[in-house]
């Protein structure tokens, strides 16, 4: 987007005061064009390139496109080969990696996770022995989070829809790293989404700050003593940024972690009671407004603990199925040390070592635990869509069937496609990347693409499409 934005006078006044001599450059930057940025999948995208794209300095898989283009019609987007994510927020990786050497078989909680930009990033960063709990309180936003994480293809992920208060109670002293990408006044997105300007007011900023404190207070007890909390917003408002860090320091005694972070050129760092904060400002870096900080919970028992009621653990519904799994799947589970959970939605598999955490999650707030693997329909095993997108899906051999671009789009629209002669389940691929399952009857096939994920709108002009190219 480009052109002059009409900004609220109170916002202009505050920013002029905050930025001093930098203010004219800041205002000018808000009128410059934004670019679409992507994060390539570290495994699925290893052989791809994007012509005319530039690398994002602070993330090796981050790419900035030369133009805004729609990715909906690129089958590789649906295969999880890349994710559309704002450049500045990829800096989360640098903070997470700075503490990663101190983590071992860790539980990582992404509290405000939909639509999944930070969760997909965390999923690729964590170790196979770690567990990511990706949570979104607004239930209607949990399906898009689950979809994006399934496309990203990592197995050690749970998707939940808990209120932060429930998180603090069910997961007391369980989590090693909490990520709070807080709902905020969104000032940093004014350039990309000018509609956000209309919702801006000083009072709304104060309201957001109150909500952020509530969220942090509620989730605090889930964090183990000595654990880490990463707090971020996409606003420039000090009330929602530095003041929140100061409040965490005064209320919970948070401290600066001992770690080294490589700070990209142009990022503004401040120290709030000794805790470093990182601000991305659009006139200083090529990205949108973003604020992030990393704090450590003291090792000693914390003050708000006494107010917490510990919720009783639910009875687990995990089991070894009495109905046999297909033998290759059974062997895969044994090899991985995975356990199975059976719900009415189907079977999921997760590392057995995480049973004690998964048993703490309330069933009615859990969207899925681990990797969906399939459902037993009568005597037939029906593989789950997530299995096709799983990064190690080739550990169980399903025949693959390569689609043309036209058939790939028809598949993603859940329309009929040409069938392979060989009967049975096939994983359909485009440029070698799995899109999902079909079942062939020889002369025709059933399309098992999830109905809720299908592309519903009409194809636009070719010139606006983005298609990834092989190296
Ligand atoms: N982390 C996400 C990503 O990278 O794609 C973006 C998160 S967005 C900035 C903030 C999220 O907080 C939204 O998904 C919103 O639904 C959720 N949210 C809103 N109110 C909340 C509350 N009171 N407690 C927790 N989360 C809330």
CA–CA distances in Å: residue 276 to residues 110, 177, 383, 424: 21, 17, 47, 57
| pLDDT tens-digit readout, 343-358 | 888 999 999 999 999 9
Task: Determine the distance separating the centroid of ligand 1 and the alpha carbon of 28, expressed in angstroms.
Answer: 29
Nearest atom in ligand 1 to 234's CA: 9
Q: What is the distance in A from the centroid of ligand 1 to the CA of 113?
A: 6
Q: Which of residues 138 and 49 earns the better pLDDT score? A: 138
Strand-pair category, 424-430 with 48-49: unpaired
Pairing of strands 290-296, 223-233: antiparallel
Average pLDDT of every residue of the chain: 91
Is residue 381 within 8 A of residue 374, CB to CB? The reply is: yes
Fold of 398-455: 2.30.130
Cα dist. 272→72, 231, 242, 244, 276 in Å?
42, 13, 7, 10, 6
**Cis-peptide, bond into residue 115, ω within 30° of zero:** yes
pLDDT at 48: 80
296 exposure class (CB count in 10 Å sphere: 0-12, 13-18, 19+): buried
* CA 184 to ligand 1: nearest atom: 9
CB-defined site of ligand 1, < 6 Å? 112-118, 136-138, 141, 164, 181, 183, 211, 215
Return the residue matching tokens 């997105």: 189
Read off the DSSP letter of residue 137: S
For domain 9-99+182-296, give the CATH superfamily: Vaccinia Virus protein VP39 (3.40.50.150)
String of b and e for 317-352 (b: at least 16 CB within 10 Å)?
ebeeeeeebeeebeebbeebebbbbbeeebbbbbbe
What's the pLDDT tens digit per position in 134-157? 999 999 999 999 999 999 999 999
Q: What pLDDT is recorded for position 470?
A: 65
For residue 140, the SS3 value is: helix
Residue pLDDT, tens place only, 388-444: 999 998 888 899 999 999 999 999 999 999 999 999 999 999 999 999 999 999 999
Q: What is d(CA 76, CA 434) in angstroms, rounded to the nearest whole number?
A: 9
| Nearest partner of 222 among 180, 172, 297, 289, judged by Cα | 172
What is residue 468's predicted lDDT score, i.e. its pLDDT? 75
pLDDT at 45 over 50: yes
The gap from C-alpha 256 to its chain's centroid, in whole angstroms, comes to: 25
- Please compute, for residue 243, the number of CA atoms within 13 A of its CA located in the half-sphere on the CB side: 13
Tokens of 78: 């649906």
Tell me the CA–centroid distance for residue 254 and ligand 1, in Å: 22
Residue 297's pLDDT is 97
Residue 293: CA count within 13 A, CB half-sphere = 26
Check pLDDT > 60 for residue 316: no
Tell me the pairing of strands 275-280 and 290-296: antiparallel
Q: Note the pLDDT tens digit of each residue in 85-122.
A: 999 999 999 999 999 999 999 999 999 999 999 999 99
The CA 175 to ligand 1 mean position distance, Å, reads 19
Task: Report d(CA 183, CA 26) in Å as an integer.
Answer: 23
Ligand 1: residue of 85, 119, 124, 137 to mutate (most ligand atoms within 8 A of CB) is: 137
**227-231, 275-279, 372-376: range with lowest mean pLDDT:** 372-376
- Region 443-464: mean pLDDT is 86
pTM of the predicted model as reported, rounded to 2 decimal places? 0.94
Q: Rounded to an integer, what is the distance from CA 419 to the centroid of its chain?
A: 34
pLDDT, one tens digit per residue, over 247-272 is 999 999 999 999 999 999 999 999 99
Q: How far is the centre of ligand 1, averaged over its atoms, from the C-alpha of 185 (Å)?
A: 12
Judge whether 366 and 160 are in contact, CB under 8 Å.
yes
* CA of 39 relative to ligand 1 center, distance in Å: 20
Cβ-contact 123, 149 below 8 angstroms: yes
Contact 417, 411 (CB under 8 A): yes
Spatial separation of the C-alpha atoms in residues 214 and 216, rounded to whole Å: 6
């Amino acid at each position: 987007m480009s052109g002059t934005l009409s900004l609220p006078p109170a916002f202009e006044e505050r920013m002029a005061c905050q930025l001093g001599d930098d203010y004219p450059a800041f205002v000018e930057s808000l009128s410059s064009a934004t670019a679409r940025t992507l994060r390539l999948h570290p495994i699925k995208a290893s052989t791809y390139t994007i012509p005319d794209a530039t690398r994002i300095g602070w993330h090796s898989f981050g790419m900035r496109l030369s133009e805004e283009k729609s990715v909906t019609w690129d089958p590789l987007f649906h295969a999880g080969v890349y994710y559309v994510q704002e450049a500045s927020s990829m800096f989360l990786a640098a903070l997470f990696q700075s503490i990663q050497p101190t983590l071992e078989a860790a539980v990582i909680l992404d509290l405000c996770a939909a639509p999944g930009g930070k969760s997909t990033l965390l999923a690729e960063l964590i170790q196979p022995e770690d567990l990511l709990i990706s949570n979104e309180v607004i239930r209607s936003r949990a399906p898009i989070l689950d979809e994006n994480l399934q496309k990203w293809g990592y197995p050690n992920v749970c998707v939940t829809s808990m209120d932060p208060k429930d998180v603090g109670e069910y997961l007391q002293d369980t989590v090693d790293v909490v990520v709070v990408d807080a709902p905020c006044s969104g000032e940093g997105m004014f350039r990309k989404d000018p509609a956000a300007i209309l919702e801006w007011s000083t009072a709304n900023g104060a309201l957001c700050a109150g909500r952020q404190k509530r969220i942090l207070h509620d989730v605090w007890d889930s964090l183990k003593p000595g654990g880490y909390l990463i707090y971020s917003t996409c606003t420039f408002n000090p009330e929602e940024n530095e003041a929140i860090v100061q409040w965490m320091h005064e209320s919970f005694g948070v401290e600066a972690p001992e770690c080294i972070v490589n700070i990209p050129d142009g990022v503004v760092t401040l120290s709030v009671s000794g805790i470093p904060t990182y601000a991305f400002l659009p006139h200083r870096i090529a990205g949108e407004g973003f604020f992030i900080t990393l704090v450590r919970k003291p090792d000693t028992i914390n003050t708000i603990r006494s107010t917490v009621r510990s919720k009783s653990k639910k009875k687990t519904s995990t089991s070894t199925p009495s109905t046999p799994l297909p033998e290759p799947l059974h062997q895969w589970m044994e090899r991985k040390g995975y356990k199975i959970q059976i719900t009415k939605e189907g079977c999921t598999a997760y590392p057995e070592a995480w049973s004690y955490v998964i048993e703490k999650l309330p069933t009615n707030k859990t969207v899925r635990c681990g990797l969906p693997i399939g459902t037993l329909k009568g005597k037939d095993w029906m593989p789950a869509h997530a299995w096709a997108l799983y990064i190690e899906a080739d550990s169980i051999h399903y025949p693959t069937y390569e689609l043309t671009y036209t058939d790939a789009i028809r598949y993603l629209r859940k329309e009929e496609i040409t069938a392979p002669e060989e009967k049975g389940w096939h994983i359909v691929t485009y440029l070698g990347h799995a899109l999902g399952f079909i079942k062939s009857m020889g002369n025709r096939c059933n399309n098992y693409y999830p109905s809720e994920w299908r592309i519903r709108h009409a194809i636009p002009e070719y010139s606006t499409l983005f298609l990834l190219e092989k190296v």
